[in-house]
Structure 1
Amino acid sequence: MIETHKANRLIHSTSPYLLQHAYNPVDWFEWGEEALTKARNENKPILVSIGYSSCHWCHVMEREVFEKENIAQVMNEHLVCIKVDREERPDIDTIYMEAVQAMGINGGWPLNVFLTPDQKPFYGGTYFPPDQWVQVIGGVHKAFTERRGEVDDSANELAKLLADQDTSHYKKAYEFTELATDLDKMFAKLASAFDKNWGGLDKAPKFVMPSVWLWLLRYYHITKNEEALNQLTITLRRIAWGGIYDQIGGGFARYSVDSYWFIPHFEKMLYDNAQLMSLYSEAYALTKEELFKTVVVETFEWLQAEMTHPQGGFYSALDADSEGEEGKFYIWKKDEITEILKEDAALFFDFYNVKDEGNWEHGNNVFIQTQSEEAFIKKHNLTEVTWREKLRGFKDQLLAVRDKRIRPGLDDKIITSWNAMMVCGLLDAYKYIGDERFLNAALKNMKFIESELTEGSVVYRSYKGKRSATTAFLDDYAYLIQACTKLYQATFDEYWLRRAELFATFTVDKFLDEDDGFFYYTNKDNEALIARRKELFDNVIPASNSVMAQNLYHLGSLLDKEHWQQQAEAMTTPLCHIIISEPNYMSNWGIAYMEMKKGLAEVVLVGENNMTLKKEIFQTYQPFVLTLGTKTQSALPLVAGKTAVDNKSTIYVCFKKTCQRPVFSSKEALEQINDLT
Structure 2
Amino acid sequence: MNRLVHESSPYLRQHAHNPVDWYPWGEEALRKAREEDKPILVSIGYSACHWCHVMERESFEQESVARLMNEHFVCIKVDREERPDVDAIYMDAVQAMGIRGGWPLNVFLMPDAKPFYGGTYFPARNWMSICQQIGEAFQTQRQALQDSAEGFTKNMHYSETEKYGLPVPTGLPVDFTLEELKTTYTKLAASFDVERGGTNGAPKFPMPVIWLFALRYFQQTYEPETIQAVRHTLDRMALGGIYDQIGGGFARYSTDGEWFLPHFEKMLYDNAQLLSLYSEAWLATKEPLYKRVVYQTVEWLQREMTHPEGGFYSALDADSEGEEGKFYTWTKTEILEILGPVWGELVCDYFQVTEEGNYHEESSGHATGKNILFPQRTLESFEQEHELISGQMDGLFEKLRQVRDSRIHPGLDDKILTSWNGLMLKGLVDAYRTFGEGDFLALALQNAQFIKDRLLQDGQLFHSYKEGQARIPGFLEDYAAVADAFTHLYQATFDESWLRLAEQLADYAISHFWDEADGLFFFTDRTVSDALIARKKELFDNVIPSSNSIMATALYTLSLLLDRPDFGERSHQMLQKVKGLLASNPEFLPHWASLASYHSTPTVEIAIVGPLVQEYRRQLESKYLPNKVLTGAEESGTLPLLLHRDSTEGRTMVYVCYNRACQLPVDSVAAAWELVG
User: TM-score band (shorter)?
Assistant: over 0.9
Q: 2:385 aligns with which of 376, 379, 384?
A: 379
Report the Cα offset of residue 580 of structure 1: 2.4
Q: 2:615 aligns with which of 607, 612, 616?
A: 612
Report the Cα offset of residue 137 of structure 1: 1.4
Q: 1:550 aligns with which of 549, 553, 560?
A: 553
Structure 1 residues 215 and 166: alpha-carbon distance in aligned structure 2, compared to 1, 3 A threshold:
closer
Report the Cα offset of residue 378 of structure 1: 4.0
Q: 1:219 aligns with which of 210, 217, 220?
A: 217
SS at match of 2:656: strand
1:228 aligns with 2:226: yes
Code of the aligned partner of 1:345: G
Report the Cα offset of residue 374 of structure 1: 4.8
Match of 1:281 in 2: 279
Match of 1:534 in 2: 537
Code of the aligned partner of 1:18: L
Match of 2:79 in 1: 85
Structure 1 residues 177 and 419: alpha-carbon distance in aligned structure 2, compared to 1, 3 A threshold:
closer
Taking the aligned partners of 1:284 and 1:190, their CA distance within structure 2 comes to 23
Code of the aligned partner of 2:448: M
Q: 1:436 aligns with which of 426, 435, 438?
A: 438
1:48 aligns with 2:42: yes
Structure 1 residues 374 and 498: alpha-carbon distance in aligned structure 2, compared to 1, 3 A threshold:
closer
Taking the aligned partners of 2:470 and 2:91, their CA distance within structure 1 comes to 23
Taking the aligned partners of 2:378 and 2:464, their CA distance within structure 1 comes to 42
Taking the aligned partners of 1:363 and 1:395, their CA distance within structure 2 comes to 20
Code of the aligned partner of 1:574: K
Match of 2:453 in 1: 451
What do the CA deviations read for 1:245-271 (whole angstroms, capped 9, x no partner)?
000100000001111111100000000
Structure 1 residues 178 and 155: alpha-carbon distance in aligned structure 2, compared to 1, 3 A threshold:
closer
Report the Cα offset of residue 177 of structure 1: 7.7
1:633 aligns with 2:632: no
Taking the aligned partners of 1:500 and 1:551, their CA distance within structure 2 comes to 9
Give the 5 Å matches for 1:58-137: 58-137=52-131
Report the Cα offset of residue 289 of structure 1: 0.9
Match of 1:3 in 2: none
Q: 1:398 aligns with which of 397, 400, 420?
A: 400
Taking the aligned partners of 1:657 and 1:629, their CA distance within structure 2 comes to 16
1:427 aligns with 2:426: no
Superposition CA RMSD, Å: 1.5
1:414 aligns with 2:416: yes
Q: 2:335 aligns with which of 320, 337, 358?
A: 337
Instruction: Determine if contact 2:160/2:166 at 8 Å carries over to the other structure.
Output: no
Taking the aligned partners of 2:611 and 2:649, their CA distance within structure 1 comes to 12
Q: 2:667 aligns with which of 664, 667, 670?
A: 664
Report the Cα offset of residue 37 of structure 1: 0.7
Instruction: Determine if contact 2:380/2:390 at 8 Å carries over to the other structure.
Output: no
Taking the aligned partners of 1:466 and 1:449, their CA distance within structure 2 comes to 13
Give the 5 Å matches for 1:316-335: 316-335=314-333
Report the Cα offset of residue 468 of structure 1: 4.6
Code of the aligned partner of 2:147: D
Taking the aligned partners of 1:431 and 1:612, their CA distance within structure 2 comes to 12
Percent of residue pairs bearing the same amino acid type: 51
Instruction: Determine if contact 2:454/2:470 at 8 Å carries over to the other structure.
Output: no
Q: 1:243 aligns with which of 227, 241, 244?
A: 241
What do the CA deviations read for 1:189-242 (whole angstroms, capped 9, x no partner)?
222222222211121110011011111111111101000011111111111000
Code of the aligned partner of 1:608: P
Report the Cα offset of residue 173 of structure 1: 7.7
SS at match of 2:111: coil
Match of 2:140 in 1: 146
Structure 2 spans left out of the alignment, 5+ residues: 361-367
Instruction: Determine if contact 1:351/1:376 at 8 Å carries over to the other structure.
Output: yes
SS at match of 1:50: strand
Structure 1 residues 597 and 173: alpha-carbon distance in aligned structure 2, compared to 1, 3 A threshold:
farther
Taking the aligned partners of 1:511 and 1:174, their CA distance within structure 2 comes to 18
1:171 aligns with 2:166: yes
What do the CA deviations read for 1:467-500 (whole angstroms, capped 9, x no partner)?
3531111111100100111111111111111101
SS at match of 1:584: helix
Report the Cα offset of residue 597 of structure 1: 3.2
SS at match of 1:64: helix
Match of 1:364 in 2: 370
Code of the aligned partner of 1:570: Q
TM-score by length of 1: 0.96
Taking the aligned partners of 2:160 and 2:674, their CA distance within structure 1 comes to 47
Taking the aligned partners of 1:61 and 1:631, their CA distance within structure 2 comes to 59
1:587 aligns with 2:593: no
SS at match of 1:83: strand
Structure 1 spans left out of the alignment, 5+ residues: 1-6
Query: Which moves more between the two structures, 144-153 or 130-139?
Result: 130-139
SS at match of 1:461: strand
What do the CA deviations read for 1:353-373 (whole angstroms, capped 9, x no partner)?
111211121121111122344
Code of the aligned partner of 1:179: T
Match of 1:309 in 2: 307
